[in-house]
Chain A
Amino acid sequence: MVTEPLIQVRGLENRFGDHRVHEDLDLDLYPGEILGVVGGSGTGKSVLLRSIVGLHQPNSGTISVFGGDLMTMSSGERSRTERRLGVLFQGGALYTSLTLQENIALTLIEHARLSRKDAEHLARMKLALAGLPPEAALNYPSELSGGMVKRAALARALALDPEVLFLDEPTAGLDPIGAAAFDALLKTLRDALGFSVFMVTHDLDTLYATCDRVAVLSRGQVLVADSLDVVEQNPDPWIQDYFHGPRGRAVAAAHSQHTEEDH
């Protein structure tokens, strides 16, 4: 790929006490791609995500987001850059005291200076885009099922048409049908809206269904970041276990069968 990466992580180091989570970690995210980030528990996938979006101050290393470093930016510049990022947190993190349409309208009103009426109208469009029925717009997050919360959180992450979407375990806690629908939705929206996706996931199905590239985190570094075919062949024992363990084999078999049917 010759295009410039949108996000460039170089020499990232994160420590918690004596525990080194990341050590000299490099990672790129290119425009328009869906990058899956996998790794065992405790390999710092979520910490990496938090570091990139500026919620966690790394111990050392540089993270360039659209060519600038969030940590050294002035607050105005940082806010402008953050508007170009959308984050879907693991639990959804919807504001519980607001209805769904207010959840989304909030950022539109604050950043795009829309009137409340227009913002709520756009918010309902975003909710429909994320596949929620129109009646759901007036529900509070506590009245929704897990899958609907994920969709609503996706709609909120998309509120300002971000250029990069960060997803933390988007399909965790969804039933297989809901998860597959979410995968399809993500691909459709990516194709339509043209954003890049940085996705932390454990879900092999999602990985096979959506990701253009997969980055494997292990021992504080990115072992390999490439297309699935290449990653699968990596001799690292963890990768072999992950992709060629019982679950990995089943998913890979199902997926290759599926693609053959498509062609």
Chain B
Amino acid sequence: MPTAGSLKIEGRTVVLQDDWVLSCFNDLRKQVHAARPGAELPADDVDWSALKHLDSAGATLIAELLGSERLTRLAEADTTLAPERKGLLLTVARAMSGLDATPPTRTRGIRQSLAAVGRTITGFAKDQKLLAGFIGLTLTTLAAIVLVPRRWRVTALVAHVQRTGLNALPIVALLTFLVGAVVAFLGATVLENFGATIYTVHLVTFAFLREFGVVLAAILLAGRTASAYTAQLGSMKANQEIDALRASGLDPMEMLVIPRVLAMVISLPFLTFVGMVSGILGGALVCLYSLDISATQFVSIIEQDIPLNHFLVGLGKAPVFAFVIAVIGCLEGLKVSGSAESVGQHTTSSVVQSIFMVILLDAIAALFFMEMGW
């Protein structure tokens, strides 16, 4: 263990003793500040002979004590100093002379907070504009390649369908099954008071055909796939792969964005269908075991009382949600700048935005379909 250094002032000579190293920094700093309370230290000589270890932290404190100019002068004039110690003192003194005594700070105040609020709001507006522009760009690119089979990226498309659609099937089925069972239990509990437990069937099928099937699947894909899109494109952007594509005359929209968007638009309706079926199955199971509604009865009620248009209303929303989720995922990925941290931020933002958009669009659609009487 080093012995903490100390300093004495004898007349106009500063006597430095023992170890001036990082591990004793706090102790040494107190002594330095005590010896030099703001004013210039009246000293023009230093006795280095009792100084044992010295490192750059200690040298910094000595430079603070004496001022870097005086330290340079004294160290250069001194003949007793070992050359490496002199080198250390001079190097540190030179480094310190460029530094201001007051640290540079990033100012924080009411003006800055107000400016931050303004920046956030204009940033939000800009993001929406960018999203609208990106949707337009996606659509025009799509229109440009739709009639040219040579430019279809079938392999990429199939690979993405497998990743976003097929691989998400089990989790979507399980989740909607469980929610279906929960909705049936809720319905059974509430409807029992009216002796109308049979309407649990209607509740579950209505809910899943119109809303839950598509919304649950869309939210799952927003969490699972939008984030994946952002992370994939984001790390490609950070690694300059997107720039490399552009520089070799290839269109990243066509190569990367379109296959992902189309894969999502293809996958989500299928997942929605699976979600509807498995949610209704969950409900049917609860009906069978706790309400004594047999499977045949369940199916015949659906057949008689539930018109096809509920199914179509639910399924019709799927491609729209899919398009929005995929576009937000890709756009956030392309917004990534440089660092790994940025990939993380944009991934979070893409999930939040796409879930928000799904719920917002669903609410608007619900109003619209209600007014239309569909």
Q: A128 touching B96 by the CB < 8 A rule?
A: yes
Query: Of A112, A120, A138, A192, which contacts B87 at CB under 8 A?
Result: A192
Query: Of B23, B25, B90, B100, which contacts A192 at CB under 8 A?
Result: B90
Q: Tell me if A129 counts as interface (CB < 8 A to partner B).
A: yes
Query: Of B99, B339, B342, which contacts A128 at CB under 8 A?
Result: B99
Q: A96 touching B340 by the CB < 8 A rule?
A: yes
State A134–B103 Cα separation when bound (angstroms). 9
User: Beyond A120-B103, A137-B104, is A142–B337 a contact (Cβ under 8 Å)?
Assistant: yes
Interface residue SS majority, chain B: helix
A-B contacts counted at CB < 8 A amount to: 81
Q: Tell me if A230 counts as interface (CB < 8 A to partner B).
A: no
Q: Tell me if B111 counts as interface (CB < 8 A to partner A).
A: no
Q: Tell me if A118 counts as interface (CB < 8 A to partner B).
A: yes
Q: Tell me if B355 counts as interface (CB < 8 A to partner A).
A: no
Query: Of A124, A138, A141, which contacts B99 at CB under 8 A?
Result: A124
Q: Tell me if A122 counts as interface (CB < 8 A to partner B).
A: yes
Q: A161 touching B55 by the CB < 8 A rule?
A: yes
**Interface size (B, Cβ < 8 Å)?**
31
Q: Which residues of B contact A186 (CB under 8 A)?
A: none
Query: Nearest A residue to B90 by beta-carbon distance?
Result: A192
Q: Tell me if A172 counts as interface (CB < 8 A to partner B).
A: no
Q: Tell me if B118 counts as interface (CB < 8 A to partner A).
A: no
Q: B106 touching A113 by the CB < 8 A rule?
A: no
Q: Tell me if A257 counts as interface (CB < 8 A to partner B).
A: no
Q: Which residues of A contact B60 (CB under 8 A)?
A: 121-122, 125
Q: Tell me if A146 counts as interface (CB < 8 A to partner B).
A: no
Q: Which residues of A contact B26 (CB under 8 A)?
A: 113-115, 118
State A124–B21 Cα separation when bound (angstroms). 17
Query: Nearest A residue to B60 by beta-carbon distance?
Result: A125
Q: B96 touching A125 by the CB < 8 A rule?
A: yes
Q: Tell me if A24 counts as interface (CB < 8 A to partner B).
A: no
Interface residue SS majority, chain A: helix
Q: Tell me if B266 counts as interface (CB < 8 A to partner A).
A: no
Q: A128 touching B95 by the CB < 8 A rule?
A: yes
Q: Tell me if B338 counts as interface (CB < 8 A to partner A).
A: yes
Interface string of B26-53 (1 = CB under 8 A from A): 1001000000000000000000000000
Interface string of A151-176 (1 = CB under 8 A from B): 00000001011000000000000000
Q: B91 touching A189 by the CB < 8 A rule?
A: yes
Q: Tell me if B84 counts as interface (CB < 8 A to partner A).
A: yes
Query: Of A112, A126, A142, which contacts B338 at CB under 8 A?
Result: A142
State A121–B29 Cα separation when bound (angstroms). 12
- Residue of B56, B84, B99, B105 contacting most chain A CB atoms (<10 Å): B56
Query: Nearest B residue to A123 by beta-carbon distance?
Result: B103
Q: Tell me if A145 counts as interface (CB < 8 A to partner B).
A: no
Q: Which residues of A contact B255 (CB under 8 A)?
A: none
Query: Nearest A residue to B96 by beta-carbon distance?
Result: A125
Q: Tell me if B158 counts as interface (CB < 8 A to partner A).
A: no
Q: Tell me if B303 counts as interface (CB < 8 A to partner A).
A: no
Q: Tell me if A133 counts as interface (CB < 8 A to partner B).
A: yes
Q: Which residues of B contact A194 (CB under 8 A)?
A: 84, 88
Q: Which residues of A contact B106 (CB under 8 A)?
A: 138
Q: B56 touching A126 by the CB < 8 A rule?
A: yes
Q: Tell me if A97 counts as interface (CB < 8 A to partner B).
A: yes
Q: A125 touching B99 by the CB < 8 A rule?
A: yes
Q: Tell me if B207 counts as interface (CB < 8 A to partner A).
A: no
Query: Nearest A residue to B238 by beta-carbon distance?
Result: A142
Q: A138 touching B84 by the CB < 8 A rule?
A: no
Q: A129 touching B56 by the CB < 8 A rule?
A: yes
Q: A134 touching B104 by the CB < 8 A rule?
A: yes
Query: Nearest A residue to B64 by beta-carbon distance?
Result: A121
Q: How far is the CB of A131 from chain B (nearest CB, A)?
A: 8
Query: Of B21, B23, B57, which contacts A122 at CB under 8 A?
Result: B57
State A217–B22 Cα separation when bound (angstroms). 37
Q: Which residues of A contact B84 (CB under 8 A)?
A: 191-192, 194
User: Beyond A112-B22, A138-B106, A191-B84, is A129–B91 a contact (Cβ under 8 Å)?
Assistant: yes
Q: How far is the CB of A48 from chain B (nearest CB, A)?
A: 27
Interface string of A8-34 (1 = CB under 8 A from B): 000000000000000000000000000
Q: How far is the CB of A258 from chain B (nearest CB, A)?
A: 22
Q: Which residues of B contact A181 (CB under 8 A)?
A: none
Q: How far is the CB of A133 from chain B (nearest CB, A)?
A: 7
State A96–B343 Cα separation when bound (angstroms). 12
Query: Nearest A residue to B23 by beta-carbon distance?
Result: A112
Q: Which residues of B contact A158 (CB under 8 A)?
A: 56
| Residue contacts A-B, CB under 8 angstroms, 16 given | A97-B341, A113-B26, A117-B103, A118-B29, A124-B103, A129-B56, A135-B104, A138-B104, A141-B339, A142-B342, A158-B56, A160-B22, A161-B21, A192-B92, A193-B91, A194-B88
Tell me the B residues contacting A by CB distance below 8 Å.
Answer: 21-23, 25-26, 29, 55-57, 60, 84, 87-88, 90-92, 95-96, 98-100, 103-106, 337-342
Q: Which 8 A-B pairs have the closest CB atoms?
A: A128-B95, A192-B91, A192-B87, A161-B55, A96-B339, A129-B95, A192-B88, A142-B339
| Sample of 7 more A-B contacts, CB < 8 Å, known A97-B341, A134-B104, A141-B339 | A96-B341, A122-B57, A134-B99, A161-B55, A161-B57, A192-B84, A193-B56
